[in-house]
């Protein structure tokens, strides 16, 4: 399947980087609403080296903690979580590569990271070409094949193959089995709880 290209700047609401009580970097889409409580909740719930997600009406939020910094991204519901994860992963890598441990001794220098905005905007363009691929997932329940985004890191770090991922659509959960070449090798409907 050819990768669809999405104009992410139209769909991403914000990117935030900070510690529990310290803001280091924030990019916000013009005219979008940024709820401080979303950032506070993400920082409180973030796990070291594990992507977490939240959903609320028309908003998807993905976040992760790395070296006591919490990296958070929010979008509208049209953006799949695997694309958000790939984007946030690259933002995190670039931020830590550019600023490293220097960030932990800084307070009150909010303009220090202003140049990082250009990096983030560039990643909005490049991540789709470099870090994700799309596969068609057939659903025998709704009789439609759905485009599912896969973060290439998921395949690169898989301990064995086929590996599985859950795809949710229209109240239906599907376990999708992928091989090392990101080809769909099986799809099974599953019961959802939670």
Q: pLDDT band at residue 160, thresholds of 50, 70 and 90? A: very high
C-alpha distances out from residue 68 to 5, 22, 72, 86, 108, Å? 33, 11, 13, 20, 17
Average the pLDDT over each of 8-17, 31-40, 136-145 and give the range with the smallest value. Answer: 31-40
Q: Is residue 105 domain-shared with residue 179, that is, in the same domain? A: no
Joined tokens for residue 65: 């903690």
Q: Per the domain annotation, does 26 fall within a domain?
A: yes
Q: Is residue 28 domain-shared with residue 60, that is, in the same domain? A: yes
Domain tally for the chain?
2
Q: pLDDT band at residue 20, thresholds of 50, 70 and 90? A: confident
In this prediction, residue 101 carries a pLDDT of 63
**Domain termination site, one of 111, 130, 149:** 130
Q: Per the domain annotation, does 70 fall within a domain?
A: yes
CA-angle at 112, arms to 107 and 113, nearest 5°: 105
Q: Does residue 162 have a cis bond before it (omega within 30 degrees)?
A: yes
- In this prediction, residues 67-83 reach a mean pLDDT of 95
Entry field: residues in the chain: 194
Q: pLDDT band at residue 119, thresholds of 50, 70 and 90? A: very high
Domain with 79, as residue range(s), is 8-130
Query: Per-residue pLDDT for 105 more than 70?
Result: no
Q: Is residue 62 domain-shared with residue 31, that is, in the same domain? A: yes
**Predicted confidence (pLDDT) per residue in 121-133, tens digit:** 999 999 999 999 9
Average the pLDDT over each of 33-37, 55-59, 154-158 and give the range with the smallest value. Answer: 33-37
Q: Is residue 20 domain-shared with residue 85, that is, in the same domain? A: yes
The pTM assigned to this predicted structure is: 0.90
Q: pLDDT band at residue 112, thresholds of 50, 70 and 90? A: confident
**Domain termination site, one of 130, 159, 176:** 130
Q: Is residue 32 domain-shared with residue 115, that is, in the same domain? A: yes
- In this prediction, residues 19-29 reach a mean pLDDT of 89
Q: Are 132 and 150 in contact (CB under 8 A)?
A: yes
Q: Per the domain annotation, does 113 fall within a domain?
A: yes
In this prediction, residue 95 carries a pLDDT of 95
Q: pLDDT band at residue 164, thresholds of 50, 70 and 90? A: very high
Q: Per the domain annotation, does 57 fall within a domain?
A: yes
- CATH code for position 120: 3.30.450.50
Q: pLDDT band at residue 103, thresholds of 50, 70 and 90? A: low
């Amino acid at each position: 399947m050819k990768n669809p290209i999405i104009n992410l700047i139209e769909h991403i609401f914000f990117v935030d980087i900070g510690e529990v009580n310290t803001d280091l970097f924030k990019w916000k889409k013009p005219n979008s609403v940024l709820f401080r409580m979303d950032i506070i909740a993400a920082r409180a719930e973030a796990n070291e080296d594990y992507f977490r997600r939240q959903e609320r009406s028309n908003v998807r939020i993905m976040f992760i903690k790395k070296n006591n910094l919490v990296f958070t991204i929010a979008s509208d519901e049209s953006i799949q979580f695997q694309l958000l994860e790939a984007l946030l992963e690259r933002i995190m890598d670039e931020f830590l590569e550019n600023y490293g441990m220097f960030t932990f001794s800084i307070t009150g220098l909010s303009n220090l990271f202003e140049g990082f905005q250009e990096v983030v905007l560039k990643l909005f363009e490049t991540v789709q070409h470099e870090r994700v691929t799309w596969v068609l997932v057939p659903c025998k329940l709704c009789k439609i094949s759905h485009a599912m985004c896969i973060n290439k890191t998921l395949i690169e770090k898989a301990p064995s193959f086929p590996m599985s991922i859950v795809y949710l659509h229209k109240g239906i959960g599907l376990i999708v089995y992928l091989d090392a070449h990101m080809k769909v090798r099986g799809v099974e409907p599953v019961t959802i709880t939670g």
